[in-house]
Amino acid sequence: MRSVSGPLCLFAYTLLACAPVQASAWRLSEQCPASFDKRDSRCWLRSTYQQYGSLTGAGVGGLKTGLPPFRDGFTPQQIDLGRYLFFDPVMSANGKLACASCHVPGKGFTDHRVHSIGMGGHEVRRNAPSLWNVGFLKRFFWDGRAHSLEEQVQGPLYNATEMGNRPESLVKTLNGLPAYLTLFAQAFPPTGNAIGGDIAAAQVYTALAAFESSLISLNSRYDFYAQGVADALTPHELEGMNVFRSFVARCAECHTPPLFTNQQIAVIGMPEPAGMPFDAGAGAATDAPMLRGGFKIPSLRNAALTAPYGHSGQFGTLRETVAFYTGGRGHAVPKGENLHLHWHIWEPKLSGVELDRLVDFIGALTDESFLPAIPASLPSGLPPPIESTLGERS
């Protein structure tokens, strides 16, 4: 993937990002990222799917269906600031771990590990999900426990096994860095009589949410097909699409286009790696015992880039993952667990060829044309994580 050496400046939103690190020299981009239009100084999503509707505005359906409600309206400066924060290890307690360490742009914003490794080599309990298109989601984490990007981000930041920080020390660190003071003032200009003040934790969350919502992947070959380009998919992929949306496999009932998730929690009984305890997922909340073993249905866009799969990272390949669905209803549920499996989980008896075609089709959902630029240098002065080492076992 892209290197962070000299030529990377070509990809940066702003040429000035390549300038030497001097507080006064830091300027945030005034341009909206790809797929956004600037209006009233803010960035608004543009997608060909916006020409279609969707029943009760839910953003689920068939090929020409509108998208679910989306988080946009951030300023270009907020988005660009979020980009720096996302890549900056200064966000973690020990200054070694950035968001991008586990959500590596070149790895579909995952880390290609079964379970992520947090601070001090701690193994996180779950697999790192992709961040492509997160601006469309209404629940976050595998168990859906957070309801906004701003709420979500406080998980990794302050979890002892992930970035291990505390709100006070994070804010204190940032306020001690002149370059960040400059950048936050650009992203959050003082209003009215207020004079520019300290960096607040909420501003950190907003900027990260702004950057994350800019990660748009909606120009795959599947999308060309959906927009009416009949030969955008190969015959194998078309066959796969028909298996995917048929009521035998039922993939599209849960991984519903155009986002390839209907955003519900479903109990499907995907297993843990050997030796790991059962993960109750959404059922851990006391008011939802029937959802024991339930997880948020993940989008499959760019899934070909994000092995291993499932909340537990149990499946190494897409082929193994899709074969799970034809292994028999509840075949991987541990003995003694009485799960309320979703009614769409049944025994579709898919053939080996059909499984291959499903994998082909999921591959046609790949689109990383709007990968954001990795900053060449960081406002903290810390060395930016180098892509080749991002996500590697330390």
Partner 1 sequence: MKKSALVSIALVALAAWVGYTYGTRSGSHAPPTAAGSTTDTLASAKHTAGSAAALLKPGVSTGQVIVVKPGESIQDAVRKAQPGDTVQVMPGNYSETVYIDKDNIALVGVIHGGDWPTLDGQGKRNDAVLYSGNGIRVENLKITNYKGNAIMGQAGNNFVVRHNWIVNSGVYGIFPEFAQNGLIEYNTLTGIEDAAIYVGMSDNIHVAHNEVHGNVAGIESENSRHVIIEHNLAYDNAGGILTFITPGLPIKTAFDVIIRNNFVVANNHKNFGAPGSIVSGVPSGTGIIVMAADDVIIENNVIRDNKNAGIIVADHKSFANITPDPESDPSPDRVQVLPNLFADNGYEPIKDIQALMLAGLTRQGPDLVAVGSGSGSCVTNRDAIKWLGVSTWTACQRTSTSDVVTYLLDQPAPPRVLSAQDRGKLVYSSVCAGCHAYNVRMIGPPTQILQAMYAGNPQGIADYIAKPVRKREDFPPMPSQAHLSPDLRLAVAQYMLTVK
Q: Which does 190 bind (CB under 5 to 8 A by kind): ligand HEC, partner 1, none?
A: none
Q: Catalogue the E-assigned strands of 216-352.
A: 265-267, 294-296
Binding partner selected for residue 157 from partner 1, ligand HEC, none, CB under the kind-specific 5 to 8 Å limit: ligand HEC
Residue 188 binds which one of partner 1, ligand HEC, none, with CB within 5 to 8 A depending on kind? none
104 interacts with ligand HEC by CB under 6 A: no
Question: Please, which residue, 182 or 262, has the CB nearer to ligand HEC?
Answer: 262
Element (H, E) at 39: strand 36-39
Rounded Cα distance, 341 and 346, in Å:
9
337, 278 contact by CB (below 8 A): yes
**x-marked contacts with ligand HEC along 59-98 as a string, rule CB under 6 A:** --------------------------------x-----x-
Q: Which residues bind partner 1 (CB under 8 A)?
A: 10-11, 13-15, 31, 34-37, 46-48, 50-56, 58, 60-65, 216, 218-219, 224-226, 228-230, 232, 242-243, 245-249, 252, 256, 262-267, 287-288, 290-291, 329, 340-343, 345-347, 349, 369-370
C-alpha to C-alpha distance for 20 and 253, rounded to whole angstroms: 51
Q: Is residue 254 within the footprint of ligand HEC (CB under 6 A)?
A: yes
Find the angle CA(64)-CA(223)-CA(270) to the nearest 5 degrees. Answer: 95
Asked if 174 is part of the footprint of ligand HEC (rule: CB under 6 A), the reply reads no
The answer to whether residue 255 forms part of the interface with ligand HEC (CB under 6 A) is: yes
Would you report the helix, strand and coil content of the chain in percent, each value rounded to 5?
A: 35, 5, 60
Gap between the Cα atoms of 94 and 96, Å rounded: 5
Please identify which residue in 99, 104, 170, 333 interacts with ligand HEC, judged by CB under 6 A.
99
Is 372 one of the binding residues for ligand HEC (CB under 6 A)?
Answer: no
Closest distance of CB 228 from partner 1, Å: 7
Q: Least distance in Å: CB of 20 to ligand HEC?
A: 26
Give the angle 245-251-255 at the CA atoms, nearest 5°.
105
CA distance 298 to 257: 12
297 binds ligand HEC (CB under 6 A): yes
Q: Pattern 212-241, binding to ligand HEC, x per CB under 6 A?
A: x-----------------------------
Q: Please report where in the chains the tokens 């630029």 appear, as a residue.
A: 373
Nearer to partner 1, 27 or 112 (CB): 27
Could you tell me if 380 and 90 are in contact, meaning their C-beta atoms sit under 8 angstroms apart?
A: yes
Closest CB to ligand HEC among 10 and 25? Answer: 10
Name residue 112's amino acid: H
Which residues have a Cβ under 8 Å from the Cβ of 240 and sit 6 or more positions away?
A: 357, 358, 359, 360, 361, 362, 364
Given the complex with ligand HEC, which of 76 and 144 has the nearer CB atom? 144
Q: What is the DSSP string of 46-98?
A: --GGGGS--GGG---SSTT-PPPP----B-HHHHHHHHHHHH-GGGSTTS---
Q: Which of 171, 183, 241, 270 is the binder for ligand HEC (CB under 6 A)?
A: 270
* Residue 206 near which of ligand HEC, partner 1, none (CB within 5-8 Å, type-dependent): none
Who's near 248: CB < 8 A, 6+ residues apart? 348, 349, 350
Q: Does 183 bind ligand HEC (CB under 6 A)?
A: no
User: Of 49, 325, 333, 376, which lies in the binding site for ligand HEC, with binding defined by CB under 6 A?
Assistant: 325
